[in-house]
Structure 1
Amino acid sequence: MKTTLSILATAVLILSGCQSSTVTKSSVPEQTNHASQGVYAVEFASAKRFSEHADNLHADFAKYCLGEISQDEIQNQWHNTMVSWMALQGQERGSEQALAQSWNVQFWPDKKNTTGRKMSSLIKQDKTWTAQDISLQSVTVQGLGSIEWLLYDAASTLGSSNQVCQTGNAITENLANNAKSIYTAWKVNPWVALDDKAWTSEYISLLSNQLEYSMKKMSRPLANFGQPRPYFAESWRSETSMLNLKVNVEALQALYIANGNGLDKLLRQRGKSGLADSIRQQFTMTIETWPTDQSLFDLLQSKDGYRLAYSNYNKLEQLKYLIHEEVAIELGVVIGFNATDGD
């Protein structure tokens, strides 16, 4: 079953400038005068949104198990949570505590259907799982992919087993706990000790790393011409891989603009308005023309679909060139090492 939802990434990613006077200090980002403040505010808002959606997913899973909401409704909430995760996915820069938790949120790529095998084994055990139990298990059964398996895979017995429903409830509780840890970690700006040059390098590395991760989500399934690997696609069970990738690009755009205090502004201040315009135009064109009617898994089933997927991969390649090469050269900074390089 294909989940069809509108993508409201701008609302998800950009922190509102109108804060209620009743909001507690813990629900607003740390206020600093550092050059990173605009980017940090976007990251904080993304972490907050992800934690909220993970909480909602856990609450809705309990309702689903009680028969209070439908399977479509719990699938939609799962996808909303997945969409909110796209803003934080693939990061190699930022809060170390948040980065340490991110491995537990999503296991990908699943090269050998490890999630399927582990989840099949998990639900067959005569055990009432708790969130604490799940947190001690393999990452393959802890995160968004394991919940997707429960909700979409033909081997899942979620709809006919109270015990399996309880297992899913434990997994969503563990996910909510991890999301809260990520949100808590982002309550402090991790970049305030960096001088302007170091911050600029860190910022461009942040954008480059996340963009490269998104590109990996396409290049691995695309593989070699004539030999695609569709099961390497993210979220192939729910058929939402291309929707996810569109949100990835929207998230990068939000980080690039950073509420008017990001790299776009910096380039214009340095007299590089032409380059700034090119990057903005590439973001706009990529987002506006991104196909979401079919999943990447479906596209890779035909030559025409493969060509369409590859042409969109090239759009990400152009973004990478502009940010990783052109911006770095113009600003005279060195891009940091990306842990996904060479794998």
Structure 2
Amino acid sequence: MQRILILMVSILAISAAGPAGPARAADADDTSRAIAKASVYDHIIPRYDRLAAAGAGLETAATAYCQDRTQQNFTALDTAFRDYWMAWAGIRHVQFGPVQFLDRGFRIQFWPDTRNKIGKQLCRVLAAEDSAALEQTIFTRTSIAVQGLPALERLLAGGNAGYDGPKGAFKCALTETIASNLAIIARGIVDNWNPTDGYAHAVAVAGTGEGPYSETYEVTVELLQSLLGELEASRDVRLGRPLGSALDKARPKLAEAWRSGLSSDILVASLKGTEDLYLSGGFDRALRDAGENALADRITAGFQHAVTQTRALEGSLYEAFAAPEKREALQAIRAGLNVLAGLIGTDLAVALDISPGFNSRDGD
């Protein structure tokens, strides 16, 4: 409901400005093209490249561990797993384009898992010990609940000792399959964004009648929705749901990646990722070119403050959600994210004549 109100205010404010003349429309198109180009080449492609590199590292580490299950090799695998999740947290806000193909985003991270599908499906796969089901072409068609990071986190949660026993070999084979799957998905996204004939080209020709975007501004809308969507998910899902309405209703196990203790690091990586989209993606420059320096400064400060507040919590978010002395700090982070979402969804949208409302490609 809150997002709908923000979008309605944005649309009404933009409409009240009156119809755009030819010169103003041309300026808006130039702004949209500049934001799209900067976002693709200075933010999206570099971060997906980083994800693909992390995927290659994860795949290599899993293979090495399953060949020789030593503590040293397990530590390397665990580190590679964390590196991949951090890379993903820094780009997962982009929820359009190749990441949507073949349900790639959900296959990387099926979350929130409100019905414990991950646990149930993982138990079934482990109980069956069907090696044929781990063949890559078959595994990609299995439940998305066991294909990605949350399932891998559960497998790694028991440490090196968790791979002992008669089921250790199959558990390791499943670990290796998931790691390979994550690497393949990341490589596929990078390949599909290529500037020659990939999605980068589709963005570049937006508004020309070629490709999926009939109007130039539609790409900017997608990007603005990416900013808003991630901020709202952090505010409402990553923080709001585990925090609960009161201390006695806090549910720490709803925190993202609580088993690995990555919740806080993921939130910081998410905030830094969206901040980079705002800065490197050209939104900040567009605001300043429009004479909106004060607004640009407030948005930049909002991102930086949220990161500082999160880092100041120390320890894991899992522990923080159940700690009375940290509740006020968590609520302050949520409040700051709410203000930041308003600045972007309303003030920035109005200043740049961009409506972050749903477009024909949303499917909502």
TM-score (norm 1): 0.82
Distance 2:179 2:65 in 1: 12
Contact 1:221-1:231 at 8 Å conserved across structures: yes
Structure with greater helix share of residues = 2
Among residues 279, 294, 298, which one is paired with 1:257 in the alignment? 279
Aligned alpha-carbon RMSD (Å): 2.6
Letter in 2 for 1:71: F
Distance 1:201 1:152 in 2: 39
Where do residues 122-161 of structure 1 align in structure 2 (5 Å cutoff)?
122-128=125-131, 129-153=134-158, 157-160=162-165, 161=168
CA shift digits 1:291-318 (9 cap, x unpaired): 3622221111222233222222222112
Q: Which structure would you say has the larger Rg? A: 2
Among residues 155, 164, 174, which one is paired with 2:171 in the alignment? 164
Give the C-alpha shift of residue 210 in structure 1: 2.2
Distance of aligned partners of 1:123 and 1:99 in 2 relative to their CA distance in 1, 3 Å threshold:
closer
Among residues 44, 47, 71, which one is paired with 2:74 in the alignment? 71
Distance 2:337 2:97 in 1: 22
Letter in 1 for 2:296: A
Distance of aligned partners of 1:287 and 1:163 in 2 relative to their CA distance in 1, 3 Å threshold:
same
Contact 2:99-2:189 at 8 Å conserved across structures: no
Q: How many residues align?
A: 306
In structure 2, stretches of 5+ residues that fail to align are 1-31, 208-214
Where do residues 89-100 of structure 1 align in structure 2 (5 Å cutoff)?
89-95=92-98, 97-98=100-101, 100=103
Residues 1:223 and 2:230 are matched in the alignment? no
In structure 1, stretches of 5+ residues that fail to align are 1-32
Letter in 1 for 2:222: E
Distance 2:102 2:341 in 1: 22
User: Structure 1 residues 64-73 or 82-91, which shifts more?
Assistant: 64-73
Residues 1:47 and 2:48 are matched in the alignment? yes
Letter in 2 for 1:335: P
Give the C-alpha shift of residue 90 in structure 1: 4.0
Distance 2:130 2:96 in 1: 39
Where do residues 1-343 of structure 1 align in structure 2 (5 Å cutoff)?
34-35=33-34, 36-41=36-41, 42-67=43-68, 69-95=72-98, 97-98=100-101, 100-128=103-131, 129-153=134-158, 157-160=162-165, 161-187=168-194, 188=198, 189=200, 190-192=202-204, 193-194=206-207, 195=215, 197-215=217-235, 216-226=237-247, 227-258=249-280, 262-291=282-311, 293-337=314-358
Contact 2:156-2:162 at 8 Å conserved across structures: no
Give the C-alpha shift of residue 159 in structure 1: 4.1
Distance 1:131 1:293 in 2: 40
Give the C-alpha shift of residue 81 in structure 1: 0.3
Contact 1:47-1:88 at 8 Å conserved across structures: yes
Contact 2:93-2:274 at 8 Å conserved across structures: no
Identity, in percent, stands at 25
TM-score (norm 2): 0.77
